[in-house]
């Protein structure tokens, strides 16, 4: 037998584990570490949702459920999609998944073949890039234009790169930029994808975190026939560990996805499904309070970074991230993030892992306490002052 390494598929061999954890681990032993790295709400799951999970557990709801998800949960999701997103999806056009992440992998397994093209607007959620690579597909990246402290999408660049793409992934609001696309940008993107005959995958996981006043528009409300909408409970309801999400798509798109989903996981966790049902049916005041707190933390983090010299930072419209450009200090974002972590004990995520346009940036999350954010900004400021002499005039 050859070595185990030889058995690993070639497209996996060249992959490495995410920098999110490696930078955080590098400061794990310090008492004063501040983690602005993981994309994880620091709030606990609201108590009414936890109780629904407990009740399900205690009343023996511990069996497999309908592979597509509890009918009553799909019914609630269907109503939510109609009410909030103008998406018409019958309950049997919805699959409850193990987080939005499982939905994403099901889509790749179902629709993407080795050598296919996947169009991504970058900087983007790294796991889209990873899923593309694991599938043996090719990422066609279209970086957002970053100019005058704002982002925008150049649709001409999309037209140049979309040729032959099988899927187009839209993540709005975006991880890591916090950018919310304008309605015109979404409409143009949907039009171009339709002309190309590509499926649109719309990842709307951060939809509740929109501080910009820009109206969010779901691609499935414009092009229902070729759009798959992914959403979930992780971010909106602080339920990351429950691993519960969903996707919705028209019948001929969702049917093959049901087969793949069933093959992968049989069904999503039954307890989490009852908890998710309560999330949709129960009071929403804790959700609103969370979003308001995020808004204030965003102002604190963005405002603090914007005052630092030599940094270009765009005010985030949404999500839970700020994505400043530190390249005047150091072009190698990974080396910079590591040095920053070692010197200040503040963990961030290097931008290049988010694809084209991410180089020279760091991602910082404001899903952390105000105190941690204030502390982190002060330390980063001191660090930059100490290395400022290196900046060319
Ligand atoms: C853009 C985006 N999509 C999907 C996910 C995965 O979410 P879930 O916890 O629902 O699997 C994340 C998690 O960070 C994300 O940032």
Find all residues with CB under 8 Å of 254, minimum gap 6, and list them.
92, 93, 94, 95, 247, 248
Q: Tell me how far apart the alpha carbons of residues 234 and 139 are, in angstroms, rounded to a whole number.
A: 26
Structural domain span for residue 238: 47-281
61 and 22 co-located in one domain? no
Q: Is the CB of 123 under 6 A from ligand 1?
A: no
User: Per the structure, how many domains does the chain have?
Assistant: 2
Instruction: Give the position, in ligand 1's atom list, of the atom nearest the Cα of 101.
Output: 11
23 and 126 co-located in one domain? no
**pLDDT digit string (tens) for 19-68?**
777 788 888 888 899 999 988 888 999 999 999 999 999 999 999 999 99
Q: Is the CB of 126 under 6 A from ligand 1?
A: no
**pLDDT digit string (tens) for 176-225?**
999 999 999 999 999 999 999 999 999 999 999 999 989 999 999 999 99
Residue in 19, 126, 127, 241 to alter for ligand 1 test, most ligand atoms within 8 A of Cβ: 127
Query: What is the reported pTM?
Result: 0.95
CA of 54 to the centre of ligand 1 (A): 24
37 and 63 co-located in one domain? no
Q: What is the maximal distance between C-alpha atoms in the chain?
A: 68
CATH number at residue 326: 3.90.1150.10
Residue 199 tokens, joined: 């499926």
Task: State mean pLDDT over 305-313.
Answer: 94
Q: Tell me how far apart the alpha carbons of residues 237 and 67 are, in angstroms, rounded to a whole number.
A: 23
> Which H or E run includes 153?
none
Q: Is the CB of 350 under 6 A from ligand 1?
A: no
**pLDDT digit string (tens) for 165-185?**
999 999 999 999 999 999 999
Q: Of the candidates 248, 122, 212, 224, which has an alpha carbon nearest to the alpha carbon of residue 176?
A: 122
81 and 197 co-located in one domain? yes
370 and 233 co-located in one domain? no
173 and 320 co-located in one domain? no
Q: What ranges in 219-284 are assigned the alpha helix state H?
A: 251-265, 270-281
Q: Tell me how far apart the alpha carbons of residues 117 and 138 are, in angstroms, rounded to a whole number.
A: 5
Sort 163 into a burial class: Cβ within 10 Å, 0-12 / 13-18 / 19+. exposed
């Amino acid at each position: 037998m050859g070595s185990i390494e030889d058995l690993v598929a070639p497209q996996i061999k060249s992959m490495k584990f995410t920098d999110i954890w490696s930078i955080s681990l590098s400061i794990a032993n310090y008492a004063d570490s501040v983690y602005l790295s993981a994309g994880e709400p620091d709030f606990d799951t609201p108590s009414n949702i936890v109780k629904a999970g407990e009740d399900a557990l205690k009343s023996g709801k511990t069996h497999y459920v309908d592979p597509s998800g509890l009918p009553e949960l799909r019914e609630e999701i269907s109503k939510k999609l109609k009410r909030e997103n103008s998406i018409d999806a019958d309950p049997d056009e919805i699959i409850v998944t193990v987080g939005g992440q499982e939905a994403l992998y099901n889509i790749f397994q179902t629709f993407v073949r080795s050598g296919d093209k996947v169009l991504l607007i970058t900087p983007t959620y790294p796991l889209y890039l990873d899923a593309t690579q694991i599938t043996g597909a090719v990422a066609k990246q279209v970086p957002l234009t970053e100019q005058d402290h704002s982002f925008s999408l150049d649709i001409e660049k999309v037209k140049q790169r979309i040729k032959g793409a099988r899927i187009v992934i839209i993540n709005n609001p975006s991880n890591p930029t916090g950018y919310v696309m304008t309605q015109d940008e979404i409409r143009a993107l949907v039009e171009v994808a339709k002309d190309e005959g590509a499926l649109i995958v719309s990842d709307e996981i951060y939809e509740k975190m929109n501080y910009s006043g820009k109206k969010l528009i779901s691609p499935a409300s414009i092009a229902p026939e070729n759009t798959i909408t992914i959403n979930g409970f992780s971010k909106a309801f602080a339920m990351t560990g429950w691993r519960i999400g969903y996707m919705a798509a028209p019948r001929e798109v969702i049917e093959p996805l049901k087969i793949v989903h069933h093959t992968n996981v049989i069904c999503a966790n039954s307890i989490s499904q009852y908890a998710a049902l309560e999330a949709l049916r129960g009071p929403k005041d804790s959700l609103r309070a969370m979003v308001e707190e995020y808004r204030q933390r965003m102002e604190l983090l963005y405002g603090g970074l914007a005052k630092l010299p030599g940094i270009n930072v765009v005010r985030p419209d949404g999500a839970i991230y700020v994505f400043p450009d530190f390249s005047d200090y150091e072009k190698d974002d990974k080396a910079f993030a590591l040095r920053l972590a070692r010197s200040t004990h503040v963990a961030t995520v290097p931008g290049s892992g988010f694809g084209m346009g991410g180089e020279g940036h760091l991602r910082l999350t404001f899903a952390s306490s105000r105190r941690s954010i204030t502390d982190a900004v002060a330390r980063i400021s001191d660090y930059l002052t100490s290395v400022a002499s290196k900046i060319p005039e």
